[in-house]
Amino acid sequence: MEELQLRSAVDAKYKWVLEDIFVNDDACKEAMDAADALISELKKYEGKLHAKAGRTLYEYLEKQSEAARLTEKLYVYTKMRLDEDNSNALYQGLFAQAANLYYKLVGAVSFFEPELMSIEEEKINGYVKNVPELQQYQFIISQLLRLKAHILSAGEEKILALAGESLQTAKNAFTMLNNADLRFPAIKDESGKKIELTHGRYSSMLESKDRKVRKAAFTALYKTYASFKNTISQLYCGNVKADNFGAKVRKYHSALEAELSADNISVKVYNNLISTIHANLDDLGRYLKLRKKVLDVKRLHMYDLYVPIVEMPKVKYTFEEAKDIVIKAMAPMGKQYVEDMKKAFTEGWIDVYENRGKTSGAYSWGCYDSHPYVLLNWQGEINDIFTLAHELGHAMHTFYSNANQPYHYASYKIFVAEVASTVNENLLMSYMLDEAKKEGDTVKQAYLLNHYLEEFRTTVHRQTMFAEFEKKAHAKDQAGQPLTCDVMCDIYYKLNKKYYGKGCSVDKDIELEWARIPHFYNSFYVYQYATGFSAATALAAGILKDVNKEEAGATEKYLDFLKSGGSDYPLNILKKAGVDLTDSAVIQSALDVFAEKVTQMEAVFN
């Protein structure tokens, strides 16, 4: 058996350089003392934000930024050190200290928003005029003032804060039930060996070439959830009621409006997404019928949706080969972008290979005072190349935001967070398809098209269906209608019939899928996957048209988007880049690309 290598055995050129954050652990420990002192200073501003006609408010905001910036730096460094090897006791301790500092910071600044909102808006605007330096914080202040109508009295806010932990009970209980207490039965794998079904194994079993394995996994999973369906329905109902309670007391029309208001997102964006998807379900049906044809089954079932219909020949890519592919694929972004991205490979941004104790998966992270970092666990599969392009998209977004924005506007919102990463994936897909066509490799073309269509189906169609379920569930409770298990199953089954019924037999068991989706306990979150993917599809198309002289300026607008950070509301930032998500045309343009790729896939198999 080949064992994982130790961290010490990994070649330095394949490790990230965290010394660019702190030169050593002693410097990190010294910074912890400095951060602790800065955080302690913040409390002295409580009750005094109105003093000196805005000067004190400015001093506080500067101190808050300084404390947050150093605390973030410590948190990022210690967590990334721990991610190198989670068994390292030294970094377990240092990360715990950094986390304690973070929570101390949260507590120290908790007075700020209620106190600022207790000051008359006219006075606050006067402070900004009176203290020119405050103008750099004007957008932050304006965001708080915009929400002032939904901020309650100090006493009421305190009660809500005290109730906050209790209102998380449904979410916490579901997490424990789903991750700790639920046990699934054993089923037979491809070789006939009995293997215990788990959340992780379920996904791989649905990709099995053996249809009996797929069906057995599907049936066993939902049979298990069915045995807990009344408990889980009460947990989700409790979560919905908590959302509707919060929206009502804060004077919002709905929980959906309350959730979207923080980023100034119109409910129209949410509704446009759903209605536009509905209008284009025929193309999803075409894809499902093609899947049925290629799999050569009489009826396509829900457990047939994830098995790859094109098997890619087992080709292993070295990291160096992948690097060259990604660099060539990003050429449409222009020379400066490519040169800046190359720094990731030469200046210690990337931690490439798996080692014992290393955090699994992949991510991009960093702090304002360092370049971005990328964690990988390179296996050499074609999917790893897409992961590299994806994480470098995040990294370049961070790189340009940090370089062009002050600390307090450098972080971009979740609503736009997946745009840059998905643009990179789109450009890589375009490049690899072109190369496969030049090589006459129809198998690779088919594999890539299938990869894209599955990414689209699961990120746009499926997440939109999730979003529609959330909307319907919350609306029923808000209207005073009982949200029982049968009601939720009925809503969910009808949605599956609507989305998948044109090309798939919708198995009755799927009515319980809502019961296993943890994202539903972070309400009205998943729609952002669909809008982000759609925006990225439109932006990538514009960049490629720009290269072909069909849409001048698209690339420059996109690069400006990367530089914007959180300096404006996300919808405004995207609009400046040429994507208006209040207009259904953006979603439609992405769906047109999906339809085009289905047509290309059909041509391969006809």
Is 137's pLDDT higher than 70? yes
pLDDT digit string, tens, across residues 413-464:
999 999 999 999 999 999 999 999 999 998 899 999 999 999 999 999 999 9
Query: Under the phi-then-psi rule, with left for phi > 0, alpha for psi from -120 to 50, and beta for the rest, what region is 30?
Result: alpha
Q: What is the CA radius of gyration of the chain?
A: 25
In this prediction, residue 172 carries a pLDDT of 87
Burial 67-99 (b: 16+ CB within 10 A, else e): bbbbbbbbbbbbbbbbbbbeebeebeebbebbe
Residue 201 is classified by DSSP as H
pLDDT digit string, tens, across residues 486-519:
999 999 999 999 999 999 999 999 999 999 999 9
The stretch 283-307 carries a mean pLDDT of: 96
pLDDT digit string, tens, across residues 525-552:
999 999 999 999 999 999 999 988 877 8
Is 1's pLDDT higher than 70? no
Q: Look up residue 568 and give its amino acid.
A: D
Cβ contacts of 358 within 8 Å, gap of 6 or more: 7, 83, 84, 85, 86, 351, 377
The stretch 330-350 carries a mean pLDDT of: 98
Burial class for 527, CB neighbours closer than 10 Å (0-12, 13-18, 19+) = buried
Is 211's pLDDT higher than 90? yes
The stretch 184-196 carries a mean pLDDT of: 93
Instruction: List the domains of the chain with CATH numbers.
Output: 10-164 (1.20.140.70)
pLDDT digit string, tens, across residues 63-100:
999 999 999 999 999 999 999 999 999 999 999 999 99
Query: Active-site positions?
Result: 391
Helices 25-42 + 55-84 axis angle, to 10 = 150
Residues composing the chain: 606
pLDDT above 70 covers what percent of the chain? 100
pLDDT digit string, tens, across residues 234-270:
999 999 999 999 999 999 999 999 999 989 999 999 9
pLDDT digit string, tens, across residues 213-230:
999 999 999 999 999 999
- pLDDT, averaged across the chain: 94
Terminal C-alpha separation, the chain: 44
Is 2's pLDDT higher than 70? no
In this prediction, residue 102 carries a pLDDT of 94
**Number of C-alpha atoms within 13 angstroms, CB side, residue 173?**
17
Is 318's pLDDT higher than 70? yes
